[in-house]
């Protein structure tokens, strides 16, 4: 990243192409100079400066990316499993050795603190490690002598060229939910990263090449809706793995399925933490602060609503307020090796949107206990910062409650009972993650059974499953029936063939018989 970028006012960013690099596509094993005349500004959110322009693919570039991936697939799908496994192991070793570089790239474009950037890499690396063991997970089955002299067996084969479209908030982990498994299973991947933080994908492409991946097997197509639609419309692209906001996830699901593709489309969230009166409120306050304000609330598994079963609300709010006062907000890269707790939001536009939700809550009668609107960091006045915000008595009819805010805004809703809290969670449009805090095992067990959410934490606020389980929500948080990674991932990126076989043998082949084959 250049450091010569001009500082621009936070409220009216005037993107300039004068002094910043243009980030482009990775096609055929190299970063290609873009021929598209469309670009978007990439910011350092901590300073508000434009650090680069990213190319937005046009039709020719989309076609070139797809053609290269098709050629890559023809080569890669014929590699032996042992050779593919060798590449995956080499990639894992390189990633593990050089992840510090990648963390800095994430922080420079996303804004999250460096340790959190490292955390997302490590969670992505888990999936790379899972993928190194892929031969075991794409084994077929064999049934001997299902009828006299007849065997049945199955093969799991790659799909071909597969598309991955990722959001800004995890520029490394979310692509890694998919591409290690897709590649290990023999597919060629086209990744369309978020145009807000496009550099990490290019770094990964170089590392995969260094690990021995043939050209064309991993392509980075930079762009916006036009690039996405190009993938959705191409018959050469056999599947789409999407992660992003719910309206776009729904659009992707509907368009891609209409075009005959296999689709997994993960959407937005509004995750609730249900606090029962028997819970230890110091632990709950710590966890609510971690899960509400970590990564400035820009996590799909962030807790955004605390459902406090009375009489605990007053005490819990006091404890959370006291902890917020101790949070340090600043440049995620830190100063002299000391990093803050929380960085900025991704753009000034998003910061203003988060702020508008706090306005809505206030207008709807909520009580703003800690107000992050207008928050500034000394020396970084043009950065896209928003202070940790705590809202009490949030009306459940307010758009600030029903919609995803995706910022450091924690709302408290006071409820009279476990059942009232459960009903609120189950009546929401989203079903990504949720958590219950209690020492009552019976209540926790009831919750895991009754709550209509895909991922549940019992005294764990951000229950992101490990790589050998699968990640995905319910309702408007996941369109399609295949979750990310784990066994779901291997099933998604392979298709099965069943073969019924016999060796010709006059004694058993049965002569002429026009009936349907029976055993």
Pick 299 or 414: Cβ nearer ligand NAD:
299
Phi first, then psi: give them for residue 359, nearest 5 degrees. -60, -45
152 contacts 143 by C-beta, under 8 angstroms: yes
Give the CA diameter of the chain.
Answer: 89
Q: Which residues bind ligand NAD (CB under 6 A)?
A: 165-170, 174, 192, 194-195, 224-225, 228, 243-245, 248, 251, 266-269, 300, 404, 406, 432, 473, 477
* CA 389/CA 227 separation, integer angstroms: 36
The least distance separating ligand NAD from the CB of residue 271, rounded to whole angstroms, comes to 9
Would you tell me how many other CB atoms lie within 10 Å of the CB of residue 421? 26
Q: Is 250 helix (H, G, I), strand (E, B) or coil?
A: helix
* CA 95/CA 219 separation, integer angstroms: 18
* CA 288/CA 312 separation, integer angstroms: 14
Q: Which two tokens stand for residue 217?
A: 């097997």
The least distance separating ligand NAD from the CB of residue 477, rounded to whole angstroms, comes to 5
* CA 107/CA 295 separation, integer angstroms: 10
494 contacts 280 by C-beta, under 8 angstroms: no
Pick 264 or 438: Cβ nearer ligand NAD:
264
**What's the CA dihedral at 306, 455, 163, 165 to 10 degrees?**
10
Phi-psi region of 486 (alpha: psi -120 to 50; beta: other; left: phi over 0): left
Pick 435 or 444: Cβ nearer ligand NAD:
435
Pick 245 or 459: Cβ nearer ligand NAD:
245
Would you tell me how many other CB atoms lie within 10 Å of the CB of residue 278? 12
* CA 449/CA 466 separation, integer angstroms: 21
Instruction: Please list the active-site residues.
Output: 300
Pick 245 or 290: Cβ nearer ligand NAD:
245
* Closest of 372, 281, 298 to residue 107, by C-alpha: 298
Bridge partners (DSSP) of residue 390 are 370, 410
Query: Which residue has its beta carbon closest to ligand NAD?
Result: 244
Handedness of CA 470, 220, 237, 28 (dihedral sign): negative
Pick 237 or 279: Cβ nearer ligand NAD:
237
The least distance separating ligand NAD from the CB of residue 177, rounded to whole angstroms, comes to 8
65 contacts 190 by C-beta, under 8 angstroms: yes
Pick 384 or 406: Cβ nearer ligand NAD:
406
């Amino acid at each position: 990243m250049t450091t010569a970028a001009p500082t621009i006012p936070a409220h009216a960013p005037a993107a300039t192409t004068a002094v910043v690099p243009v980030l482009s596509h990775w096609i055929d094993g190299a970063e290609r100079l873009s021929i598209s005349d469309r670009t978007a500004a990439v910011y350092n959110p901590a300073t508000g400066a434009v650090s680069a322009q990213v190319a937005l693919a046009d039709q020719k570039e989309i076609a070139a990316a797809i053609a290269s991936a098709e050629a890559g697939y023809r080569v890669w799908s014929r590699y032996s499993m042992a050779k593919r496994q060798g590449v995956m192991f080499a990639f894992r070793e390189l990633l593990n050795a050089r992840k510090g570089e990648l963390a800095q790239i994430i922080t420079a474009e996303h804004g999250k603190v460096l340790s959190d950037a490292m955390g997302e890499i490590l969670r992505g690396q888990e999936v790379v490690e899972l993928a190194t063991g892929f031969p075991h997970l794409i084994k077929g089955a064999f049934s001997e002598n299902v009828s006299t002299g007849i065997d049945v067996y199955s093969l799991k084969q790659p799909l071909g060229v597969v598309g991955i479209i990722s959001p800004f908030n995890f520029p490394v982990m979310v692509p890694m939910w998919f591409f290690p498994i897709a590649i290990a299973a023999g597919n060629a991947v086209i990744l369309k990263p978020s145009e807000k933080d496009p550099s990490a994908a290019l770094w990964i492409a170089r590392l995969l090449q260094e690990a021995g991946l043939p050209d064309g097997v991993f392509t980075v197509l930079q762009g916006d809706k036009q690039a996405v639609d190009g993938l959705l419309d191409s018959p050469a692209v056999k599947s789409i793995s999407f992660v992003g906001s719910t309206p776009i996830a729904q659009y992707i699901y509907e368009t891609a399925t209409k075009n005959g593709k296999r689709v997994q489309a993960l959407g937005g969230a509004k995750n609730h933490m249900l606090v029962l009166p028997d819970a230890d409120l110091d632990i709950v306050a710590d966890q609510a602060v971690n899960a509400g304000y970590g990564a400035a609330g820009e996590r799909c598994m962030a807790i955004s609503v605390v459902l406090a079963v009375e009489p605990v609300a007053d005490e819990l709010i006091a404890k959370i307020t006291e902890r917020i006062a101790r949070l340090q907000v600043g440049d995620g890269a830190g100063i002299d090796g000391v990093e803050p707790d929380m960085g900025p939001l991704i753009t000034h536009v998003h910061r203003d949107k988060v702020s508008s939700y706090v306005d809505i809550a206030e207008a709807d009668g909520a009580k703003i206990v800690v107000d992050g609107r207008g928050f500034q960091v000394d020396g970084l006045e043009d950065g896209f910062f928003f202070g940790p915000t705590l809202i009490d008595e949030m009306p459940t009819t307010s758009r600030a409650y029903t919609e995803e805010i995706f910022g450091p805004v924690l709302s408290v809703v006071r409820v009279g009972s476990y059942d009232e809290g459960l009903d609120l969670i189950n009546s929401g449009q989203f079903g990504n993650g949720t958590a219950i805090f209690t020492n009552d095992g019976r209540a926790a067990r009831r919750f895991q059974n009754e709550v209509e959410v895909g991922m549940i934490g019992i005294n764990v606020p951000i229950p992101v499953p490990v790589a050998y389980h699968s990640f995905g929500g319910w309702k408007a948080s996941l369109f399609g029936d295949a979750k990310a990674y784990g066994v779901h991932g291997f099933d998604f990126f392979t298709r099965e063939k069943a073969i019924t076989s016999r060796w010709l043998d006059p004694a058993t082949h049965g002569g002429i018989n026009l009936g349907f084959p029976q055993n």
